[in-house]
Each structure stands twice: as C-alpha cells, then as structure tokens.
Structure 1
Amino acid sequence: MEAVPNGSPHPDFYQHLVVMRHGDRFDNFDRSWSATAPRPFDPPLHNDGLARAFDTGRTFLNLLPFSFHRLFVSPFLRCVQTAAQVLLALSAANPSTTLKVSVEYGLCEMLTSEAIRPKVAPKDLNWGFDIPQLEAILPSGTVDHSVERVHKEMLPWEGTAVVTHRRYVHLFQTLADKYPSENLLLVTHGEGVGVAVSTFMEDTIVYGVEYCAFVELRRPVFQKGDSFAFGKFEVILREGQDGIKHVPNPEKE
C-alpha cells in the first residue's frame, strides 16, 4: 500500500465501511434477568431487538447504493444475533448473496466498569465465548473459517474509554486495509459506532447511539496492479439514516 498518488484525482472506486450497533438487549426489558443468568454480562436480544435487526437489514437494501462483501461481528451474543437477522433480511431479498461472516474479538464491548459493571463481569475475566456455538447462530454456509482474526484472543480488561477508542479505530483501519476492494459491515456496540462518527467527522461529539443505528464510512481507493492506495474515510449521511445523536465540539469553534 502506498500514499495516494499525486495527479490521480479520480479514484478507481470507493470502499464502504458500515459500523452498526446491535439490537435491543433483553436485560433492558427484564431488569431481574441478570440476577439469575449464568452469563449476566452477555444478554441476548429481546424480541424487539430481533425485529429491529431484521428491519435494519432491509433498510440497507433500500438505502445503500452498494452491497456488502464481508460482515465482522463482536463475540457478544446480542451482536451475533443481530448479525444473523441482518443476514436473513439480506438473503431473503437476494438468495444468491455470498456475504461471509467472521467473529472478531476486536469489535467487543468496552471492557471498562463504565460499560460492564464489576458485579456483572466474570470474576476471573474469563468471558468464556464459545465461538463454534456462536457461529451456529448464523445462517448456514455464511461463516468464513479461513479468516484470520485481527485479535486472535479475547482482549484484556481495558479500564478506560481512551484505550477502547484506540482499539476500535485501529481495527476499522486494519480490516479496511486487509480487504481493500470489499465493502464491510461491522456489527458492534454503541461505543464503536460513536467512535466511528467522532473519528471521521471532524469536530463532532457523539452523545447517543440508538439500537441498530449505523454509520456509513467511505474512502477513495486508487489501484495500480496489485497495489492499493487510499484517501481518508468520510462520514456519509443519507436521508433516512438516523439514530446517532451528535453535536459540534464547542472547543473547536
């Protein structure tokens, strides 16, 4: 990969990266659920969340002028269930879709006490994600076992949001660079969506991300043989794309 070549104002194509939050989590509907759950830090989706995720998949078909090649998903159950519903919606409209899915640890929740209360987190920080069991939730034939994860194991406790934000940004760039000619859908958590907006939309503060909200990122790609060079990602806002609450950063005005 090289710097964007001078004298090449017109890209060969654009690469699209969509970062999406999971659907409505069950423990926000049943506050007593976590008291007896074996994995209180890893709630499933509520039925409303399943429906919202499926509807968002249909929104992608109607709103976005491009299709996805790959989907990467956080190992948390609510994210995998969200990805499964999106895939079902996309395949219902196009049964021949070849979209492939991979579980990526780097898309996981913020590993801080702000996001996961200490009394809920596993005592030994052994998250116990059963990847084959999670992959079984996804539609048959969609899992790509050949993909090498960016983070090969579950991450350690991060402690601060700053560490999490760096992790998300590095992962977005790494996955995009790894698949330069493909459009990617990343199913993650609210913080990941917020980071994508505040990083690539200058002087912006994100203060809320609704369930299944998503941000579309786009960058120009210049290709010469087997080599690729890239412009910067920009946030694309389309009519009907909402759910991310943001304001200008007053410190930059």
Structure 2
Amino acid sequence: MTSNDVVPGRFDQNVIIMRHGDRRDNFDPTWVKTAARPWDPPLVDEGKARAYRVGLELRNSLGFPIHRVFVSPFLRCVETASEAVSALCSAGDGGVDQSNVKVSIEYGLCEMLNEAAIRPQCAPKDGKFPFNISELEAMLPAGTVDASAEKIYPEMPSWGEAVSASRSRYGHIIQALADKYPSENLLLVTHGEGVGTSVSTFMKDADVYEVNYCAYSHVRRTIDFDESGSHTSGTFQLLTVPHTTGIGFLTRSSLADGV
C-alpha cells in the first residue's frame, strides 16, 4: 500500500533506521590530509559490501516492502543507500518485491554538526556544509530518485548545534517523515547517533552504548484509515532486540532486575 493506494482498514507502518557503512577515514587516517572535503568521507569497499548485504537482509527477512528511502546528504550515507537500495530492488527467491522503491535526500537526517561528531580540524572553516544534491542523486540507482519530495528540513542545521539538539532533531525527523507518509514503510539512512536516538526515543528507558556500521533499528505503529482517507495513528513501538541488528543497548529496568 502506498500514499496513492490508501484503502479503509488497518495498516502496520514500519520504519527502519540504518547507520551508514564503514567510512574511509576510520581505515585510512592519511586520507584527510589531501581530501577536499575531509568532513565528508566515502565508504571503503567493505562498507559498500556491508550495505548491500544488509539491503538483502532487509529485502528477504522483514516480510514487508520498503516503499520509501530517505537519506542524509553526507557521501557515506548516500553510498550506503545506493548499495542497500540496489539490494532491495534485486531479484531473489523468497524476497519481497521492492521494484517501486523511491529515494530522497533529507537534510534532517544529517550528521550531528558539532565537534562531538566532526573533528574541528576537518570541519569547514566557515561552518557551511555544502552539498550538490543533483550529483548525490545521480549516485542512486536509476529510476529510484524522487526529487519532488519536499524536505522536512529545507536547510542544513547550523554548525555548533548541541548534542541534545541533534538528538531532538533525529527524533523529530523520524516522526515527521512517518507522519508525512502514513501508508508507507520507510528506510532512513543516517548516522550512528540517529540510530541510537531512534532506540532511546521509542524505548524511553534504553541506554545505547554501541551502534555498528550498517546497524539498524525497527519501529512499528498501527494506522487506521477510514473511508474518507483520514487516519488515526498509534504509538511507535521499538521491535529491535539488543545485538541482533548491530545495536547494543540496555534498559534501566533490566539493569534493576540484574539481567
């Protein structure tokens, strides 16, 4: 079911929030010395391979289609989305047909723009993080780009945003995109803090301590559509189990119980 094919009844909306793959500067420290954009590293080959494998996992194991993909404009995320979407759209026995998936770039999914995430010596001197959206869209699989999708965040956040503000942004963008496309399942490709925030936002007593490359969380809610096309939405529930998809977290209740 898509936004153009809403019928009365109940729909379980699923949102997958995924971290990018293995970034080059963490495997080749000398790369930043000559990079024109040292704050925007690409993936290494293993990062691309990992993203493709996770895309296949999502295609074959979720049991529902991904209708839309939204991605941070940072190169490592766009390359991750390209590989994951290629896998989603691939033919395969037992998989869910993903041939109509649409992809859009969303500034609200970008990296935390502060020194906790970006080394000061790598950040642009003027605090501006420019992206050529047309060039980034050209990296995505042919026929998948939806350039008409209106961004929730029309501009990049300002350099120096507080960590707390970044986490609020991640929580807001997940909810806002889900609310904008209530009859569609979404894949959001973002950064480690965004994935961690998705866990702590929808499981209030969770403490996240690890988010691996290409780790992903899964949240779900029930949407009820009436005959007029109006809908009422339930509350998102986190379905992710610690360590099964690359995220390490504990709940304060489990700690209290000695688990």
The equivalences for 1:11-30 within 5 A come to: 12-30=10-28
Contact 1:158 1:164 (8 Å CA) reproduced: no
- TM-score when normalising by structure 1: 0.91
Contact 1:16 1:184 (8 Å CA) reproduced: yes
The alpha-carbon deviation at position 238 of structure 1 amounts to: 6.2
Q: Tell whether 2:169 aligns with 1:157.
A: no
- TM-score when normalising by structure 2: 0.89
Aligned pairs, how many?
A: 243
Per-residue CA shift, 1:14-68, capped at 9, x if unaligned? 1000000000001111011111100000000000000000000010022201111
Structure 2 residue corresponding to 1:110, chosen from 109, 112, 121: 112
Q: Name the CA distance, whole Å, in 2 between partners of 1:130 and 1:227.
A: 37
Amino acid at match of 1:233: F
Q: Name the CA distance, whole Å, in 2 between partners of 1:13 and 1:215.
A: 20
The alpha-carbon deviation at position 154 of structure 1 amounts to: 1.5
Q: Name the CA distance, whole Å, in 2 between partners of 1:119 and 1:158.
A: 14
Amino acid at match of 2:247: I
Mind listing any 5+ residue stretches in structure 1 that lack a counterpart? 1-10
Contact 2:16 2:217 (8 Å CA) reproduced: yes
Q: Taking structure 1 as reference, are residues 158 and 221 closer, same or farther at Cα in structure 2, changes over 3 Å only?
A: farther
Q: Taking structure 1 as reference, are residues 251 and 59 closer, same or farther at Cα in structure 2, changes over 3 Å only?
A: closer
Structure 2 residue corresponding to 1:124, chosen from 123, 126, 141: 126
Amino acid at match of 1:243: G
- Match of 2:235, SS state, is coil
Q: Name the CA distance, whole Å, in 2 between partners of 1:249 and 1:41.
A: 35
Contact 1:20 1:215 (8 Å CA) reproduced: yes
The alpha-carbon deviation at position 112 of structure 1 amounts to: 1.2
State the identity as a percent: 51
Mind listing any 5+ residue stretches in structure 2 that lack a counterpart? 1-8
The alpha-carbon deviation at position 158 of structure 1 amounts to: 4.2
Which residue does the alignment assign to 2:174?
Answer: 172
Q: Tell whether 2:209 aligns with 1:218.
A: no
Which residue does the alignment assign to 1:249?
Answer: 252
Per-residue CA shift, 1:56-86, capped at 9, x if unaligned? 0010022201111100000000000000001
Which residue does the alignment assign to 1:71?
Answer: 69
- Match of 1:128, SS state, is coil
Amino acid at match of 2:11: F
Contact 1:70 1:184 (8 Å CA) reproduced: yes
Q: Taking structure 1 as reference, are residues 96 and 22 closer, same or farther at Cα in structure 2, changes over 3 Å only?
A: closer
- Match of 1:61, SS state, is helix
Amino acid at match of 2:153: H
Per-residue CA shift, 1:125-156, capped at 9, x if unaligned? 12121100101100111110211001111221
Per-residue CA shift, 1:145-183, capped at 9, x if unaligned? 211001111221243210001111111111101000000
Q: Tell whether 2:202 aligns with 1:200.
A: yes
Q: Name the CA distance, whole Å, in 1 between partners of 2:98 and 2:215.
A: 26
Q: Name the CA distance, whole Å, in 2 between partners of 1:151 and 1:100.
A: 18
Amino acid at match of 1:136: A
Which residue does the alignment assign to 1:81?
Answer: 79
Structure 2 residue corresponding to 1:228, chosen from 231, 235, 241: 231
Contact 1:105 1:152 (8 Å CA) reproduced: yes
Contact 2:66 2:98 (8 Å CA) reproduced: no
The alpha-carbon deviation at position 240 of structure 1 amounts to: 8.4
Per-residue CA shift, 1:179-225, capped at 9, x if unaligned? 00000000000000000001101311001100000001000111112
Q: Name the CA distance, whole Å, in 2 between partners of 1:68 and 1:208.
A: 25
Q: Taking structure 1 as reference, are residues 54 and 118 closer, same or farther at Cα in structure 2, changes over 3 Å only?
A: same
